[in-house]
Amino acid sequence: MKVFCIGGYTWYWWLYLYFDPRPKMNKEDLYDREKELEKFFDALSYASMIVVTGLRRTGKTSFVNVALVECGYPFTILDMRGLPFNPSRADIIRRLELAFNQIDRKWLSDFVEALKHVKGVSILGAEISFEWSKKELDLTEIFAKIDHWVGIKKKKFVIAFDEIQFIRGNKWILSFIAHVIDTYHNIIVVITGSEVGVLFDFLGFNQPSSPLYGRHFFQIQMTNFSAEMAKDFLTEGFKQIQIKPSDELLLYAVQELDGVPGWLTLFGARCRDKKSCSKEIVDEFASEAGKLARDEVMKLVAYSRRYGIILNFLSKIGEATWSEIKSAIEVKEARSITNHAVSTLIKNLTKIGVIIDRNGKYAIKDSILKRGLREEPLPE
């Protein structure tokens, strides 16, 4: 709790640290992740590229925000969400311009000074403006100036691309990233992505045709909380908002929400709003979250209703072999389908992190999604 004295009155402001649904910016707001932070800081000393992976709602954005704030280096973050599937160069440069103008104030004046005489860059006070046309702006010169600036200060500059797989239709950005990590030794690239298989397909570390083929990178995997950690997270979070649920209720919440940091945070925020915690609130939230998770995978059905058949089937029986999934599709469609078609469907669902292979049996990863599909199956 923080206490403020204003006009002779005392005001109390409770900080809803763990249960704030917005991405975290301060280390005190981030639960655990000490090992991941230690790995990140260590990698900054030698790696030119750091890749942070994990399923949705595992806290990748919060982790990167905190890691960059704590690292002591100037940094910028490009949020790639909301861009077209195949964005233009101008689309990316607009995001870069926005990100550069959000650099921490303690670095901003020196940063602006470093870019003052670059062609295509306009400086008005402490604001940076780019010419978006291909001829006017030379990105390589910009990053050369940044590399020189931080080199003089004996620092590093970190540029992060959050959820880069959202632009997987465009490859020129990979050539640019390859140039940065090959050429500028004082610049570190951080990449995050949720659809892990799709992300690595896009980056192409193992594909000879990719600009990033064979490049060294350090990977940090964000995982869900264990049952013990999830219970502790809720316990500490409820202390912050002065609510005292029973251990039995906490265990029930952990069981229903399955250790997913994002779901646990939103559940805590719901209890904060209602100023109470109960089994009914757990069930109410889990049902609403299930609908949200279901809506997120609805886009798959637009590509093929067979995705709906597979996910509905797995939500009912828990887990199934490749052959059982093939049979379920054939029974629903009343016709035979090829082995290749089944393998492609399963491979795609695995790549985007919706299902997991457990020793030859496939299951839906997120129990909240499983619940949502049981309550309202996808179109088949």
Q: What is the domain partition of the chain in residue ranges?
A: 33-222, 299-380
CA 63/CA 69 separation, integer angstroms = 10
CA 284/CA 305 separation, integer angstroms = 29
- Amino acid 121 reads V
Helix, strand, coil shares of the chain, percent, nearest 5, are 50, 15, 35
Across residues 16-41, what is the average pLDDT? 92
**E-only strand ranges, the chain:** 2-6, 9-13, 49-54, 75-79, 121-124, 127-130, 157-162, 187-193, 218-222, 319-321, 355-358, 361-364
364 vs 11, residue with greater confidence = 364
* Residue 336 clears pLDDT 90, i.e. is over it: yes
pLDDT band at 7 (very low <50, low <70, confident <90, very high): very low
* Residue 3 clears pLDDT 60, i.e. is over it: no
Q: Please report the pLDDT score of residue 134 as a whole number.
A: 58
Is this model's pTM higher than 0.75 or not? yes
pLDDT tens digits, 212-223 = 999 999 999 999
CA 81/CA 93 separation, integer angstroms = 14
Across residues 171-177, what is the average pLDDT? 88
The percentage of the chain sitting over the pLDDT mark of 90, rounded to a whole number, equals 75
pLDDT tens digits, 128-145 = 998 876 566 888 999 999
CA 251/CA 235 separation, integer angstroms = 10
Taking residue 113's Cβ as centre, other Cβ atoms within 10 Å add up to: 12
pLDDT tens digits, 235-284 = 999 999 999 999 999 999 999 998 999 999 999 999 999 999 999 999 99
- C-alpha angle 309-310-311 in degrees, rounded to nearest 5: 95
What is the residue-averaged pLDDT of the chain? 90
CATH class of 33-222: alpha beta
CA 243/CA 18 separation, integer angstroms = 13
CA 53/CA 58 separation, integer angstroms = 9
Residue owning tokens 């200060």: 153
From residue 290, how far is each of 80, 95, 286, 335, 371 by CA, in Å?
26, 33, 6, 31, 6
- Amino acid 371 reads R
Q: Inter-axis angle of helices 305-317 and 322-333, to 10 degrees?
A: 120
Q: Do 49 and 188 form a contact (C-beta atoms < 8 A)?
A: yes
CA 144/CA 153 separation, integer angstroms = 15
Q: State phi, psi for 373 to the nearest 5 degrees.
A: -75, -30
270 vs 198, residue with greater confidence = 270
Q: Please report the pLDDT score of residue 5 as a whole number.
A: 39
Across residues 326-334, what is the average pLDDT? 97
Number of H helices, E strands in the chain: 15, 12
Q: What is the DSSP pairing of strand 49-54 with strand 218-222? A: parallel
Q: Which of 296, 302, 307 is nearest to 348 (CA)?
A: 307
Residue owning tokens 């000490």: 34
Residue owning tokens 């219970």: 231
Q: Please report the pLDDT score of residue 15 as a whole number.
A: 53
- Top mean pLDDT of 31-45, 109-123, 160-174 is at 31-45
Q: Please report the pLDDT score of residue 4 as a whole number.
A: 37
Q: State phi, psi for 353 to the nearest 5 degrees.
A: 80, 20
DSSP 377: P
Q: Please report the pLDDT score of residue 13 as a whole number.
A: 41
pLDDT band at 211 (very low <50, low <70, confident <90, very high): very high
- Residue 286 is encoded by which pair of tokens? 């889990």
* Residue 11 clears pLDDT 70, i.e. is over it: no
Q: Please report the pLDDT score of residue 224 as a whole number.
A: 92
CATH architecture of the domain covering 299-380: Orthogonal Bundle (1.10)
* Residue 207 clears pLDDT 50, i.e. is over it: yes
Q: Do 163 and 57 form a contact (C-beta atoms < 8 A)?
A: no
